[in-house]
Structure 1
């Protein structure tokens, strides 16, 4: 069997990063954030912003923004290495747990915001004395839908504890 060339290795590595990142994009990460996380996840050593920029062929600003988002979602961490002059980052390895907690939390937050907005709309309808069975039914269904989602994601969050 022939030894793979560096071009073949690079091509397969890029395919792996691309396919893995597609899954992570379903967790509301953009393409750059997902690809950066995968790169950090598979890298054995912490990386600087310059390392990330070189690995993904993106700007340092794009890497900085993606890093900030991943830090906010608690998916990566800043690490200290004595003598290093630049910030270093690495992926947190408990991947499933981190993504599920982040995903469920974001859904619950979004649902809460939507329910608040729907309650506000319902109050406006009541205050304006609009008598519309159609509008009342639509509001009731929208609230019911969001309450059902809320219940499902609360159940999921109980399993993550």
Structure 2
């Protein structure tokens, strides 16, 4: 912000306009992945802030209540997109953005996908157990057994998918994904 204040009004307006376009884009992008537009805008605003901020500062900047701001900050912290930091002489919590978009992507999807794998694998395994119970109870019913064989095969296919997804998550978290799909070099400047 200190650089922005040193600019002329026209320069400030143009920089703010360019930043606002990016902030809006970040919000829309995060909204596609199930994070509210306002939390996306919060991250976008923090992304352009060159220093840690308090809830009060971000609340004033965005015109949101302190309660909404606290919820947004907590969500971004849970997603590992911001960190709480210590500030000399400050009694209030300070937050700063984690500017590594690759790591943000990895953290966000790893957290979400691991939760989905856990929930869905549990449901699939419970269904497999029920199928085995039905199979034992009605061992002489060939039609039912054929249906159960088909269902069990489909469930095993789904479980294999979740095993693959865990390997994909592991490749993200270990950084091996970048061996397959390297990060872009910074040649845009």
Place the TM-score, normalised by the shorter chain, in its bin.
Answer: 0.7 to 0.9
Q: TM-score, normalised by structure 1?
A: 0.79
Say how many residue pairs are matched: 159
Query: Structure 1 stretch 141-150 or stretch 120-129: which is displaced more?
Result: 141-150
The answer for the alignment partner of 2:186 in structure 1 is none
SS for the counterpart of 2:53 is: coil
Is the CA contact (8 Å cut-off) linking 1:108 and 1:154 kept in structure 2? no
Higher relative contact order (CA 8 A, sep 6+): 1
Between the aligned partners of 1:123 and 1:98, the Cα distance in structure 2 is 37
Indicate which of 71, 81, 84 corresponds to 1:75.
Answer: 81
Query: Following superposition of structure 1 onto structure 2, how do residues 9-158 of structure 1 map, counting pairs within 5 Å?
Result: 9-26=15-32, 28-129=34-135, 131=145, 132=147, 133-158=149-174
Query: Structure 1 stretch 139-148 or stretch 22-31: which is displaced more?
Result: 22-31
Alpha-carbon displacement from aligned partner over 1:43-85 (angstroms, at most 9, x marks no partner): 0122111221222222221110011112222221222223324
CA shift, 1:107, in A, is 1.2
CA shift, 1:160, in A, is 5.7
Alpha-carbon displacement from aligned partner over 1:93-126 (angstroms, at most 9, x marks no partner): 3332243134224313321321121011111111
SS for the counterpart of 1:153 is: helix
Between the aligned partners of 1:26 and 1:153, the Cα distance in structure 2 is 20
Distance 1:152 1:45, change over 3 A: closer
Q: Point out where structure 2 has 5 or more consecutive residues left out of the alignment.
A: 1-8, 136-143, 178-189
Between the aligned partners of 2:64 and 2:70, the Cα distance in structure 1 is 10
Indicate which of 1, 7, 10 corresponds to 1:4.
Answer: 10
Query: Alignment RMSD, CA only?
Result: 2.7
